[in-house]
Chain A
């Protein structure tokens, strides 16, 4: 065992990067659920985003364009979910599961000829001298753009939900869609927009895995991150900052246990591998002991009646 092989600064920097895909997917799903829609297709939208981002980046050579394509890819797939649940009034749970299965299959098909290719590197954000500050530099200022975008989305989501009319209307639609309809709000339109936002965020998170974390394309490479993101939203009591905390906790411990495994700590690998799940769940369960609860209309289909 050689713990000295672990560099704490690089470890913390890696923890932040490891948390980003979960964070992006979870914050997107949080908005969807606050609007009253349960989209279980996060995994499918992530992997679709991952493959779209990968293909575009390899062909065009620009990761920025790739990430934009990933967000669009995720959003387009979520549009299918929006059609099924908001227009065709299909069951949300079944549609979400179908979306995941469809996304996994579609991405495998699209990515067939891209297996084994290495994409162009995603550069760190040029923050100039800030990145050269010892310790803080690599941890805070040494990341690529998407890490900061993820944080910005969390902050913007929190502020929008709390301080703006848009956020209030979104929460109202999620809380009681019949009352929102009676007051003249366009329940379906608002929900569709929320679903699109969730899809775009999930796509972005997926592309972060295929372009930065791994970086290559393999089938099913999101490996359940979408499901973790879904669980995280619930354990975070639908609160943006708790999603951030949960994602960093989960991403951080995942990274830590990988490092510990690498250093040859005398704990069975199975225990290390399960540690992120256990710690995250325990912390968030303790936090969610207050009286917060799910949005009132979550998962219920809205029929506009006369």
Chain B
């Protein structure tokens, strides 16, 4: 059978780095094909070439046996290639229907389009109202906009870049139903993910990239996740292991924490209560937009709270500003890397100064000690394997995964008493994620209290001692992780949030 898409010897070099080196790949009609690789392995460049955003230096692409040379994404779309982006390519101020119209070559009039959107969203179990403004939608809903935008084009090949990072297990199941249905209808899917178990559950074939080269192919069903991870990394992989440790006194005490929603798009916190002891890792799960950002802001000191709600070693933190909390040893790493955890246009050294000043003694009486800061930044880069030419590079220039390693490393290396992290391994490849998790475990073993807020339940199961679910701003009572399985946790999270299984 002629493959739907055949890539032969695709090569693309950027100054100083070969992003893709003679990549060869074939996708059959209706096949769900996984593309695996670490951050920087060249997956993005490869799909950008297929989608017409980047021109290959050499090599050929064929679509159903005829030459396929997309000059821009429009050409790719008209050839039947659709793409769901990792960083959503949506327009916040526009409505769902307008966003979808922008992704179509010849959109029907708005009213007809709205009807089509409703039809497709019902068919595939992805409810979505065409009139809503995208800025008001949750991450999961935004992804639905992107998926529906692609589906309306009737694509022959759908490229999905990290589609499940923002979904609950139940939502993932529903997405997989949708994808399997599409595959049965003959649509091929090129699926990029770090989550190997998902790939094993979903994909028919996998191509593994490392350093821009194809290093192997496999049938995911017949290959263990560990083998695939080792192919990706090129070496054996260490599973994070918690050292035996004893939990000590209560370090962080949160009692009846309530706070109004900070903005129209935020979530109010309602009576959140938990305690974390020294050496304890508390995992907080939940779908994005259920109060994660607000909880982190209350713990870091960004939003003030009423006296008596948050205390550290018996000391009330209500009037303690973020910088003073850092001085005390209460550190945090927010989810949004660019603009919240790091200032995009400032260098890594400057970013190291921003949170490290108090605890690492980087500033003395208002004067900044740059050599010491640089050393600190270099230590983060070395210990957390941040791939960058050096600490003088702007935070913006790092890939998402590398910057994530930097912002987590920056907090971990300050020897915190309490560390609160939100989505510590979002968009980070398997090896780096394992390293970050290990560092959090080591921190707890060293006597710190660690709060991990994450949407990745496997991650929470792996590292947390106790688990609590955050839903609509309310936190469930924490339960020991050893008593729970993923199914129970999914139920704790409050079901599938208005999603139903495809019913066609």
Residue on A with the closest CB to B71?
Answer: A184
Residue A183 is within 8 A (CB to CB) of chain B in the complex: yes
Which one of A92-100, A171-179, A200-208, A215-223 is at the B interface? A171-179
Q: Which residues of A contact B92 (CB under 8 A)?
A: 175-176, 296
Given A168-B101, A168-B102, is A176 in contact with B91 using a C-beta cutoff of 8 Å? yes
Q: Are B77 and A184 in contact (CB under 8 A)?
A: yes
A169-B101 Cα distance, complex, nearest whole Å: 10
- Closest Cβ of chain B to A74, distance in Å, is 29
Contact partner, B98, options A168, A178, A184, A291, Cβ 8 Å: A168
B47-55, B279-287, B466-474 - interface stretch: B47-55
Query: Which residues from chain A contact B90 at a C-beta distance below 8 Å?
Result: 176, 179
Closest chain A residue to B110 by CB distance? A163
Q: Is B73 in contact with A184, judged by CB distance below 8 angstroms?
A: yes
Q: Say whether A183 contacts B89, CB under 8 Å.
A: yes
The distance in angstroms between the C-alpha atoms of A145 and B209, with both chains bound, is 66
Residues of B within 8 A of A168 (CB): 94, 98, 101-102
CA of A110 to CA of B53, assembled, Å? 46
User: When the two chains form their complex, are residues B102 and A183 in contact, meaning their CB atoms are under 8 A apart?
Assistant: yes
Q: How far is the CA of A296 from the CA of B52 in the complex (A)?
A: 25
Complexed CA–CA distance, A112 and B309 (Å): 73
Q: Is the CB of B93 within 8 A of A295?
A: yes
Q: Is the CB of B91 within 8 A of A165?
A: no
> B45: which A residues are within 8 A, CB to CB?
306
Check B85 for interface membership: any CB of A closer than 8 A.
yes
Number of residues of chain B lying within 8 A (CB) of chain A: 26
How many chain-A residues does the 8 Å CB contact rule pick out? 19
Among A165, A180, A184, the residue within 8 A (CB) of B72 is A184
Given A168-B101, A306-B14, A306-B53: A184 touches B93 (CB 8 Å cut-off):
no
Q: How far is the CB of B173 from chain A (nearest CB, A)?
A: 28
Instruction: Determine if A306 and B89 form an interchain contact, defined as CB atoms under 8 angstroms apart.
Output: no
Q: Is B314's CB within 8 Å of the partner chain A?
A: no
Is B74 among interface residues, defined by CB-CB distance under 8 A? yes
**Please, which residues of chain A bring their CB within 8 A of the CB of B103?**
183
Is A182 part of the binding interface, using a Cβ–Cβ cutoff of 8 Å? yes
The yes or no answer to B65 lying at the interface (CB within 8 A) is no
CB of B107 closer than 8 Å to a CB of A: yes
State A262–B75 Cα separation when bound (angstroms).
Answer: 65
Chain B window 282-304, contacts with chain A (Cβ cutoff 8 Å), 1 for yes, 0 for no: 00000000000000000000000
What is the distance, in angstroms, from B229's C-beta to the closest C-beta of chain A? 28
Bound complex: CA of A171 vs CA of B94, how far in Å?
A: 9
Complex Cα gap A179–B264 (Å): 24
B93-105 toward A: CB 8 Å interface, digit per residue (1/0)?
1100010011100
Pair A179/B91 contact, Cβ less than 8 Å: yes
Per the bound structure, the CA–CA distance linking A171 and B133 in Å amounts to 14
In B93-136, which residues have CB < 8 Å from any A CB? 93-94, 98, 101-103, 107
Residues of B within 8 A of A178 (CB): 89
A306 vs B45: C-alpha distance when bound (angstroms): 8
Chain A residues with CB under 8 Å of B91's CB are 171-172, 175-176, 179-180, 296
**Which are the 5 A-B pairs with shortest beta-carbon distances?**
A184-B73, A179-B89, A184-B74, A175-B91, A182-B89
Subset of 6 A-B contacts with CB under 8 Å: A165-B107, A179-B91, A182-B85, A182-B89, A183-B102, A306-B48
